[in-house]
């Protein structure tokens, strides 16, 4: 999938692919104001907030450096049957933003098709799970104090300006669940400056950073943070622990009361079995299977009672693996393995490209059987019906196949 933002980020940061992700701080500018406006505007963000039932902690407000109680910005709309539904109190939201505050919406990709498509494109690019958190700060509101994230981030300034300070790590590659606390900020200042609309910044895991509009007077800032939850060696060992259940030797109780000789025998057996498990399922196998087994993203189910299938797009979390054999083609994705006749290869490549595909146009290129292939891939949930709403997430960002 070729997405305009992915290409623009690579050019802005001087990257040639995702390999630098998580290694060093980097910043630049995409130089295309229409691109960032197309991703999200403050008005669209507020419209998104207004039309959905939201709750803390996904939807939060900060003022004066402190998180506000949800009652300061959420209403409970009561239905005729007495059911209370949390909704943003838009008058309260407006008042807070006029006074100067920060609105945070985590996982905006769950609500907005443009953010959904952008996160999927970044996942295909990085081979890591990605989510988009959006921050709107008004007037001279202060932001978060110096803190670090347990994941790598790409920050795109969508509108307005915000002052940033980025420092180095005080503990190498810290984790959310770690062996020791990481509470003392580093003294090494990597960069301080102002992010303006179109600017892009990469902050690796563990780098301390703070952003604020304090002292800047009137105005606003909107930025999106794309978080990359990369796998670590700890993730691999946790995965191995799940596989160990297949071996009987690991399912036995640890011998607490046996003789020293009996305990030594068990320890040797466990050590030998663990060594075999490590050799059989290395880190590369972990990454490969994790990518192939990830279920497809959320999508609207296709129902023929609403009409024929007219257009589709691949919605697997990562690029499907297409393997050519002598007389067949195998597709592996979303925890499934599908086998087709070799003549289906051109159609499969088109449908699984990550680009929107209109079936009437595709039939003229790869043959009428593409419609049958599309129905199979939709039934298996590797592809989804391209609804007008989902299509809007690709418009001007991802070209049709």
- For 200-246, the pLDDT digits (tens) are 999 999 999 999 998 888 899 999 999 999 999 999 999 999 999 99
DSSP-based three-state secondary structure for 339:
strand
**pLDDT band at residue 275, thresholds of 50, 70 and 90?**
very high
d(CA 133, CA 127): 19
Confidence (pLDDT) at 38: 96
d(CA 116, CA 385): 15
Residue tagged 């919605």 (tokens): 315
d(CA 98, CA 92): 10
Confidence (pLDDT) at 162: 96
Comparing C-alpha atoms, which of 287, 343, 288 is closest to residue 321? 288
Segment 259-276 shows an average pLDDT of: 95
Residue tagged 């088109």 (tokens): 350
Confidence (pLDDT) at 143: 80
Q: For residues 220 and 56, is the Cβ–Cβ distance under 8 A?
A: no
Per residue in 104-138, pLDDT tens? 999 999 999 999 999 999 999 999 999 999 999 99
**pLDDT band at residue 79, thresholds of 50, 70 and 90?**
confident
Residue tagged 């009409």 (tokens): 307
CA Rg value for the chain: 25
The length of the chain, given as a count of residues: 401
**pLDDT band at residue 10, thresholds of 50, 70 and 90?**
very high
Confidence (pLDDT) at 18: 97
d(CA 11, CA 31): 10
């Amino acid at each position: 999938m070729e997405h305009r933002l992915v290409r623009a980020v690579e050019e802005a940061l001087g990257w040639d692919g995702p390999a630098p992700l998580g290694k060093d701080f980097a910043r630049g500018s995409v130089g295309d104001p229409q691109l960032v406006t197309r991703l999200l505007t403050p008005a669209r963000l507020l419209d998104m907030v207004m039309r959905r039932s939201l709750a803390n902690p996904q939807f939060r407000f900060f003022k004066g450096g402190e998180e506000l109680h949800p009652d300061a910005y959420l209403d409970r709309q009561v239905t005729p049957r007495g059911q209370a539904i949390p909704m943003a109190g838009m008058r309260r939201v407006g008042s807070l933003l006029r006074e100067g505050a920060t609105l945070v919406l985590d996982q905006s990709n769950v609500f907005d098709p443009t953010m959904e498509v952008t996160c999927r494109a970044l996942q295909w690019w990085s081979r890591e799970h990605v989510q988009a958190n959006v921050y709107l700060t008004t007037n001279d509101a202060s932001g978060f104090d110096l803190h670090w994230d347990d994941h790598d981030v790409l920050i795109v300034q969508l509108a307005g300006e915000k002052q940033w300070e980025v420092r180095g790590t005080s503990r190498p590659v810290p984790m959310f669940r770690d062996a020791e606390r990481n509470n003392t900020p580093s003294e090494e200042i990597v960069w301080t400056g102002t992010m303006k609309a179109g600017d892009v910044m990469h902050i690796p895991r563990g780098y301390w950073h703070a952003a604020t509009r304090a002292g800047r007077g009137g105005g606003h800032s909107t930025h999106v943070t794309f978080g990359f939850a990369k796998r670590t060696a700890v993730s691999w060992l946790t995965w191995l622990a799940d596989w160990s259940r297949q071996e009987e030797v690991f399912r036995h109780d640890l011998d607490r009361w046996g003789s020293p000789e009996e305990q030594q025998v068990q320890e040797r057996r466990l050590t030998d079995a663990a060594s075999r498990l490590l050799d059989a399922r290395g880190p590369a196998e972990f990454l490969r299977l994790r990518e192939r087994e990830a279920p497809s993203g959320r999508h609207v189910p296709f129902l023929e009672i609403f009409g024929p299938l007219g257009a589709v797009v691949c919605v697997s979390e990562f690029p499907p693996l297409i393997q050519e054999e002598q007389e067949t083609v195998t597709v592996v994705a979303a925890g499934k393995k599908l086998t087709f006749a070799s003549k289906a290869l051109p159609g499969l490549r088109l449908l699984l490209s990550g680009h929107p595909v209109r079936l009437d146009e595709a039939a003229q290129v790869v043959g009428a059987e593409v419609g049958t292939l599309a129905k199979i891939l939709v039934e298996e949930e590797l592809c989804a019906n391209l609804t007008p709403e989902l299509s809007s997430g690709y418009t001007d960002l991802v070209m049709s196949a």
